[in-house]
Chain A
Amino acid sequence: MQEAHLFGSPQRLNSLGYLINILKTFVKIIKQLFFFIAYMVYKHRDIIFSKYVWIIILGLLLLVAIIALVNFRTFKYYVDEEAEEFVVQKGLFNKSKVVIKFANILQVNITQNVVQKALSLYGLTLDTAGSDKVEVDLYGLDGFHATELKKLLLSKIHGEQQKVCTEKTDILAPTISSDKTVLSLPAKNILLVSLFSNYRQGLALFFAFLVTMFQNFKDAIETFELSDEDIDTAAVKELALASIFTLVIIVLIGLMTIPFIINLVRYYIKYYNFSIVKNITGNFSMQYGLFNKVNTIFNRDKIQFITFKQNQILKHFGIGILSLKQLVMNAAKEDKSSIVMPGIILADRDKVYELAFPDPIFENTTELKPRIGLFINLFIKMLFFFGLLGIALYYTEFDTMLIYPVFLILLLATTIYNYLFYKNYRLIYNDNFIVKRYGVWNEKEIIIPMARVQGVGVSQTIFQQQSSTANLNISTAAKGVNFRFLPDKEVNQIANYVLYKIEK
């Protein structure tokens, strides 16, 4: 009952939160006025040196301080236990009140960014069903209030959930003893993943980098040629040779480090110290982050499907990358709404599967292989692409004698790749799940629980009609997944069965 007293009446945030609010308001105003300021500076350059500018800046700061003060003083939150609501009030003239029913709260997150860390404050955000916009952001709570409020809200949500899914929690209870770390990702594994994955993205970025480098290089040479003729040509050659040498070194270093650096940001910094913990209340929560610390509930209702991928190097180490794909509101935020576990070992992966899905995934499964049509389709597409490439090469009048062997080797390699792709392609299903397994170098596994399927599609091209194959398209709230060139009888059966599972 003590917590109820603590949050029963409208509360203000910690007074240090005022500083955060000043910063937030300032950033907001700068963001809104950015183009205006940029335009003014560009148009009237001399304005920077006039004394009025300082008066304006001073006035702006004062304005920010006042706005922030009003915002801060009027921002109040409380827990209404009778109505089962969490309420946030704000505004002086335009009063607004955000009311969230306990039943609609999906996740309670505790976060801490760099500013908050410096002030030893925490942020608490609530994710609700229906929209992915953060409706409630308590940005300035001290540690005590943050944990107490989280505990209180969790117990409320938990109370709500207990009626619905008691048996689910019972299943999980015997396997994991209370209040302990279920799994954690060692920093070593995240580093390994960072070293050995995402070459393609790295390569693409690197080529963009190379092109700009090449452009600069060409410009440099042109300027040399255009400058005074009495420059020592030997010296120019030496310089050019030296720059070619440095270029090669830059290429080599870039090829090795760029994917690594991208991965460091994507995996190491974001998911540093990843762990899943079981609380005393019986909820599972995830904690991660090096600078921006995140603490969020592991909410199985939010998970749409799970993907697990590993390339051949990571397979050798017995680790992979697991992603929990959650509800996506718009395509641009796809990356944001998934939680990644880089460098997870296989035993831990199975633990996550168990946490996410109450039913066993790989029991009584049936495996479906695609027909040869998949390979033929890929082969024709490849021929088309190489044909275009060949024509392009023919017209550029390269040294064709050298190009053709390379061309043939590439053609052969792609054919083998396509064949392996066709050979590895699988649809696996049982009573509750559809699993797609594919990939040659990167082996991917996508697990879709049938209960999360939003729609089913079956398509058949005129070529597929003759070989009686069809494609299955499963649409979920996170993304659609396609299964191609499977026997049409089975495809229709699966479609009927999935619909039956959802509708019964």
Chain B
Amino acid sequence: MTEFSNKQVLVTDLPDWRDVRFEHISPKYKTVVLIQYVILITVFLVILFGVFWLNDDPWNSTYLYILFGGLSFFILLLILSVWSLRYWGYALREQDILYRSGIFTKSIKIIPFKQIQHVDIKEGAISRLFNLSSIELHTAGAGEGLKVPGIESTQVAIMQEFISQKISQKPIH
């Protein structure tokens, strides 16, 4: 029992992830998401027009239902996505990286540098216009890893440097 209570003290003394100050992802990423959705909606509209224009009666009620249903669905998704970006963020600690996302389900993922196998930097076509990149961290095997989007390209390079250094420090077994 003494050992047990000893551990409890230890647990409360441990560094708490809730104490970290999260850095927000770049506000420019909102524009990226917006453009992505605009493209998606355009594709949706083009397909819809393509299908119904060929019909004899393009303005029938089914068409209108699908048009307005689809549009409101996409716009709702767009608003939620852009709004949720306020909460998204990441933080680097000495030993691990934290990533926060979601709106209805807020989730935090923490990956220790010790378990990271390699680091990737990815640039989407739209993100590149805004000088944004995403950083991908891969863990061993079926481990899920982590992807943080919408970080300034200059900052991503610094992050990658930092993490790579941390990875190379770990003993190879």
B-side interface mostly = mixed
Asked if A460 and B106 sit within 8 Å, CB to CB, the answer is: yes
Asked if B139 and A495 sit within 8 Å, CB to CB, the answer is: no
Asked if A478 and B114 sit within 8 Å, CB to CB, the answer is: no
Asked if B142 and A502 sit within 8 Å, CB to CB, the answer is: no
Asked if A461 and B104 sit within 8 Å, CB to CB, the answer is: yes
- 9 examples of A-B residue contacts, CB within 8 angstroms: A327-B140, A327-B142, A454-B140, A458-B110, A461-B104, A462-B105, A475-B143, A492-B16, A496-B17
Chain B stretch 114-142: residues in CB contact (< 8 A) with chain A: 114-115, 139-142
Asked if B107 and A499 sit within 8 Å, CB to CB, the answer is: no
Interface string of A464-504 (1 = CB under 8 A from B): 00000000010111111000000000001101110110110
Asked if B115 and A455 sit within 8 Å, CB to CB, the answer is: yes
Asked if B104 and A462 sit within 8 Å, CB to CB, the answer is: yes
Asked if A477 and B143 sit within 8 Å, CB to CB, the answer is: yes
Given contacts A454-B115, A455-B115, A461-B104, contact A364 B140 (CB under 8 A): no
Give the CA-CA distance A475 to B106 in the complex, in Å.
18
Given contacts A331-B142, A477-B142, A503-B95, contact A493 B114 (CB under 8 A): no
Q: Which 10 A-B pairs have the closest CB atoms?
A: A477-B141, A459-B107, A454-B143, A503-B95, A328-B142, A455-B111, A454-B139, A327-B141, A477-B140, A496-B14
B140 closest partner in A (C-beta): A477
Tell yes or no: A368 within 8 A of B by CB.
no
* CB neighbours of B7 from chain A (8 A): 364, 431
Q: What residues make up the interface of A, taking CB atoms closer than 8 Å to B? A: 129, 164, 301, 304, 327-331, 334, 364, 366, 431, 453-462, 473, 475-480, 492-493, 495-497, 499-500, 502-503
Tell yes or no: B61 within 8 A of A by CB.
no
Partner of B107, one of A301, A458, A496, A502: A458
Given contacts A477-B141, A480-B144, contact A364 B17 (CB under 8 A): no
Partner of B143, one of A129, A455, A499, A503: A455
Given contacts A455-B109, A457-B110, contact A499 B142 (CB under 8 A): no
Asked if B141 and A499 sit within 8 Å, CB to CB, the answer is: no
Chain B stretch 1-44: residues in CB contact (< 8 A) with chain A: 3-4, 7, 10-12, 14-18
Tell yes or no: B146 within 8 A of A by CB.
yes
B101 closest partner in A (C-beta): A459
Given contacts A328-B141, A477-B142, A492-B18, contact A499 B105 (CB under 8 A): no
Contacts A455-B110, A499-B95, A500-B15 supplied; 6 other A-B pairs, CB < 8 Å: A454-B115, A454-B140, A459-B102, A477-B142, A496-B11, A497-B11
* CB neighbours of A431 from chain B (8 A): 7
Given contacts A460-B105, A497-B11, contact A455 B142 (CB under 8 A): no
Asked if B115 and A499 sit within 8 Å, CB to CB, the answer is: no
Least CB distance, B53 to chain A, in whole angstroms: 33
Q: Count A-B contacts at CB 8 Å.
A: 109
B111 closest partner in A (C-beta): A455
Asked if B3 and A364 sit within 8 Å, CB to CB, the answer is: yes
Given contacts A364-B7, A475-B144, A495-B17, contact A459 B139 (CB under 8 A): no
* CB neighbours of B108 from chain A (8 A): 457-459
Least CB distance, A456 to chain B, in whole angstroms: 5
* CB neighbours of A460 from chain B (8 A): 105-107
Asked if A478 and B107 sit within 8 Å, CB to CB, the answer is: no
* CB neighbours of A453 from chain B (8 A): 115
Least CB distance, A493 to chain B, in whole angstroms: 5
Interface string of B140-161 (1 = CB under 8 A from A): 1111111000000000000000
Asked if A304 and B141 sit within 8 Å, CB to CB, the answer is: yes
Given contacts A455-B111, A461-B105, A502-B114, contact A493 B12 (CB under 8 A): yes
* CB neighbours of B16 from chain A (8 A): 492, 496
A365 closest partner in B (C-beta): B4
* CB neighbours of A477 from chain B (8 A): 139-143
Asked if B141 and A478 sit within 8 Å, CB to CB, the answer is: yes
B94 closest partner in A (C-beta): A503
* CB neighbours of A500 from chain B (8 A): 14-15
* CB neighbours of A492 from chain B (8 A): 16-18
Partner of A454, one of B3, B18, B95, B111: B111
* CB neighbours of A462 from chain B (8 A): 104-105
Tell yes or no: B112 within 8 A of A by CB.
yes
B103 closest partner in A (C-beta): A462
Give the CA-CA distance A329 to B141 in the complex, in Å.
5
Given contacts A457-B110, A503-B96, contact A479 B17 (CB under 8 A): no
Give the CA-CA distance A366 to B5 in the complex, in Å.
11
* CB neighbours of B15 from chain A (8 A): 496, 500
Give the CA-CA distance A453 to B102 in the complex, in Å.
23
Give the CA-CA distance A328 to B142 in the complex, in Å.
5
Given contacts A455-B109, A458-B108, A499-B110, contact A476 B143 (CB under 8 A): yes
* CB neighbours of B18 from chain A (8 A): 492
* CB neighbours of A475 from chain B (8 A): 139, 143-144
A132 closest partner in B (C-beta): B141
Give the CA-CA distance A331 to B111 in the complex, in Å.
20
Least CB distance, A160 to chain B, in whole angstroms: 10
Asked if A499 and B112 sit within 8 Å, CB to CB, the answer is: yes
Least CB distance, A501 to chain B, in whole angstroms: 10
* CB neighbours of A476 from chain B (8 A): 141-143
Least CB distance, A216 to chain B, in whole angstroms: 38
Partner of A456, one of B3, B110, B142: B110
Given contacts A495-B110, A499-B110, contact A455 B17 (CB under 8 A): no
Asked if A499 and B140 sit within 8 Å, CB to CB, the answer is: no
Best-buried of A334, A431, A503 by chain B (most CB within 10 Å): A503
Least CB distance, A107 to chain B, in whole angstroms: 15
* CB neighbours of B146 from chain A (8 A): 455
Give the CA-CA distance A457 to B111 in the complex, in Å.
9
Least CB distance, B5 to chain A, in whole angstroms: 10
Give the CA-CA distance A478 to B107 in the complex, in Å.
22
Partner of A455, one of B10, B104, B105, B139: B139
A331 closest partner in B (C-beta): B142
